[in-house]
Structure 1
Amino acid sequence: MTSSTVPLRNLSSDAAHAAVAAAVAHARGLGIRVNAAAVDASGVLLAFLRMDGAFLHSVDIAIDKAYTAAGFGFATEGWATAMAGDEMLKAALSVRPRLVVVGGGVPAYEGTQRVGALGVSGGSAEQDAACARAALAAIGLAEQAQ
């Protein structure tokens, strides 16, 4: 008989808060001001932290970077490769609400299970991604299934 349910693991709220704090600490070291978001495996916001003076519009961008990474299971900067040479895909994705295709969103894996994601916005795409990866490292999770 086939089971009607599947187990689901999620990033804990404690880990989410530790992750956004780590992202902000990394941003301070880079001399930038960011917004940092942590979501569960379904893309629902668990924790958010806005540094003093961080861009207002980056609030939603950080949350949506995390949402995008959780939903697709790969870093948001990976969309450049995924869309390369596919104009129809670019056109279709450009109208999707909440989809962010620049660096700064990374999924969080515990073994092979995606448990959430981190999103950071306020610096360059590379700086945002570095902050998100620092957050992931701080809570001991991986960016890819292992």
Structure 2
Amino acid sequence: MKLASATLMLSAARVEAERLGVIVCVSVVDAAGYPVAFLRMDGLALGCIDVCIKKARTAALFHMDSADFARVACPGGGAYSLELTNGGLTSFGGGLAVRDRNGVVVGGIGVSGASTEDDIAIGLVGLAALS
């Protein structure tokens, strides 16, 4: 994940959050789950920071969106409590895997602060900025 790509995603996500009238933070991580770029809008509830980072890490480390991860890591799922591994993950929507042109996961983007649906929508706009 290159810094230029990460900042492009942050910028697009911020514009979408402003359009929706919500306050969020956005984290972009590399394929190993390490931070590349981060954005926090003014007035954000500070607990959202850790959540958005964990959403991005979850997507990158497990090569799936955090909403899909939730179906695996929930009670009754095939890997209940998996979110307790890898230094802490999250099992709800707003984390999206970032793939290169060949479909290889190169990182993740995580959004937190709005509804789960808005977090996902904002993340998708961030991803679309790479196309």
- The aligned residue for residue 86 of structure 1 is 76
- The aligned residue for residue 114 of structure 2 is 123
- The aligned residue for residue 30 of structure 2 is 40
Secondary structure in structure 1 of the residue aligned to 2:42: coil
- The aligned residue for residue 90 of structure 2 is 100
Question: Residue 98 of structure 1: CA displacement?
Answer: 1.9
Partners of 1:17 and 1:68 in 2: how far apart?
Answer: 20
- The aligned residue for residue 114 of structure 1 is 105
Secondary structure in structure 2 of the residue aligned to 1:112: coil
Amino acid at match of 2:10: V
Q: Note closer, same or farther for the CA distance 1:34–1:88 as it changes in structure 2 (3 Å cut).
A: same
- The aligned residue for residue 138 of structure 1 is 129
Q: Quick check: 2:73–2:82 contact (8 Å CA) kept in 1?
A: no
Cα-Cα RMSD: 1.7
Partners of 1:107 and 1:33 in 2: how far apart?
Answer: 22
Q: Output the TM-score relative to the length of structure 2.
A: 0.90
